[in-house]
Chain A
Amino acid sequence: MPSEATGRDYVGEALARVERMTRTITAALAERGFQPVEPAIMQPADILLELYGEDIRRRAFIFQDETHGELCLRPDYTAPVARHFLASGATHARFAYAGPVFRRMASGDPRPAQFLQIGMESYGDPDLAGADAAMFDLTARALDWAGVRGARAMTGDLGIAFAVLDAVTMPESWRQRLKRHFWRPRRFRELLHGFVGENDADGDAGRIAFLKAIGSLGEAQARDAIEEMLAMADTPHIGARSPEAIARRFLAQARDAQAHPMSAEVAALIESILAVRCPLDQALDRLTEPCRAAGVRLDAALTRFERRLQALAGRGVDLSATGFDAAFGRNLEYYDGFVFEFTQGEARLAGGGRYDRMMSALGATSAVTAIGAALRPEIILSLEGAI
């Protein structure tokens, strides 16, 4: 059986190089107000399961311990550092970290399961555009301190996609489904085409006709019809889901069945926004134009976008040399706003983004802004040929 790498052993010169890079970057970050933090490597697994669901078991090392219950080896620093911050009760803070994280790789993937990250998180900065640009710039500087030259930058904005979905008129259940499946591009596209009526997916004609009939009844009449249907089929109610919840959703489905299919123009608008890929200095026009043509207002999201461009330019970032891809960040399920990464050839050297919404999933009682980034020192050093 081929054995995949678990992680590197460091000794001698290689160890010295890694330690030197770590010291340089974390010292510079400390000077800029990023407090060093080293959360526990072993974390309770329930947080991960809450955030990502059962699927995380394939991607993280989760194990059962008699005394401590279900534990995991931290797959990244973001969740542990965020929890530490929330527990502190502070309203804003900045942290820096450096150390190993652990991820299960798919079978046949040669990448090691244990690797190093050097990173930073910034919480509670109310100036969203400013904080986005600052984190982007700081990541670029950190690469500079690490001796990297000529890395390419790519950015995205997941907030734009969600703003389009919010701005367009459609049944709420459709909107929720599209948002939930935004992270699965193929399913998202299937859903969209289904709403336009292009596939005959989601059930037989008989059921749809029945739903349409129920949907034209008043609420009380519809509930009666459902009860009668169940009684005729000799079906008792069982389980924790209440009859009211079932009837409520059934009625919502019935009303949706009466909804007009999504117009092809609206679906095309959504797809065209997600297809925008260009240098960052052209992105605002490329996003604004289809919205204007379709009569869809995206004012708040586009204003935020513009402010961020200004903040980036203000820090000397060359927007024409920076990429924009509206679908970028779509496979990273906890980012919800600005996302970015720095690459050299095929190698991904650093990446980061905004994740305000994850903070409430982690237990924040009031809204907290959060943005962070991490570098991959081993990839950087191996590109140099140093390890």
Chain B
Amino acid sequence: MCASLAYVARLRKDSSEEDGNLVIQMDRTIDESAAWEPKIIAFLCTWCSYAGADLAGVSRFQYPPSIRIVKVPCSSRISANLILDALRAGADGVLVSGCHPGDCHFISGNYYARRRFALLKNLLEFVGIEPGRINFSWVSAAEGERFSQIVREVTERVTKLGPASRLVKKPLPEITAYSTHSGAYQRTLEY
């Protein structure tokens, strides 16, 4: 979870107040609730969507830094196992993007993928995963600006839904004790 630091400056009167001295106390608190940013795993097909994202970068189109890109050869490489794995790992959202129908580099991959994704999306919403957690799009290699729009839209959707909690696999406490993540190590020392 992204934590932002908020400096809280408090004016506090010291015991030596009679002298008219004011002691300014600066407290540094970690405000975890403010400015949470979602983590969205974006599976992009190499030939169209990844190139489109690259074009967005080269053309300096701004989009929120919420996506983590995984380059795959084709959108049909993405199976339901992978999407669920992203959700289990704690991703707040998933974006899968491929070539436009008819333009797949492998001719028909995105056609099969389209059927698969439609069914998966409906099934996940049926069992209660919030609509908007997983998203699909077709982005071609020339659509840099559109890619940035799509990322903006997905980030908005996922931010509104809040951090993911329904299909997240939390690691066992014993494992976090040995992880290199210092925060977790510090916490377990308290027991």
A and B are partners in one complex rather than unrelated chains: no
